[in-house]
Amino acid sequence: MARISTHDLARAKDAVARLLEQLDLSAYLYDVEPADDGPWQVRIDCAAGEAWQSLSLSVDADLLLRSVADAGVGARILEEWRRSLAGCSVPNGSGAQGDRH
């Protein structure tokens, strides 16, 4: 992705929100940090038991934007993110939603 537009950043944030909802986390906050060259960063603060943990996940901007229309691309991103976010709390021990943004 050569030039970052406000529209692309908004679409990327929407894509991240949709993906994180599927992980069913208890509580989390996130932000998307674009890069002119290389992968974008998704910064996530999530509930981890009685504390919070902060993580930064790399994601290809084009794949992230494609994940909205292509469930297979979204599934691949989620597979990677699940491993990284394994320490985050989920309601009743499995998957879920939480505070967003």
Domain for residue 95, yes or no?
no
Query: What pTM value is reported for the model?
Result: 0.83
Residues of the chain with pLDDT under 50: 1, 94-101
pLDDT for 2 equals: 53
8 Å CB contact between 42 and 57:
yes
Which one-letter DSSP state was computed for residue 59? Answer: E
pLDDT value of residue 4:
77
Domain CATH number, residue 59: 3.30.160
pLDDT for res 90? 86
Domain residue limits at 67: 6-85
What total of structural domains would you count in the chain? Answer: 1
Q: Which pLDDT value is given to residue 92?
A: 66
Q: Where are the beta strands (DSSP E) in 1-101?
A: 28-33, 40-48, 51-59
Residue 92: inside a domain: no
For residue 65, tell me if it sits in a domain: yes
How do the residues of the chain divide into helix, strand and coil, expressed in percent and rounded to 5?
Answer: 40, 25, 35
**At 61, which amino acid appears?**
A
CA-nearest of 42, 7, 47, 6 to 26 is 47
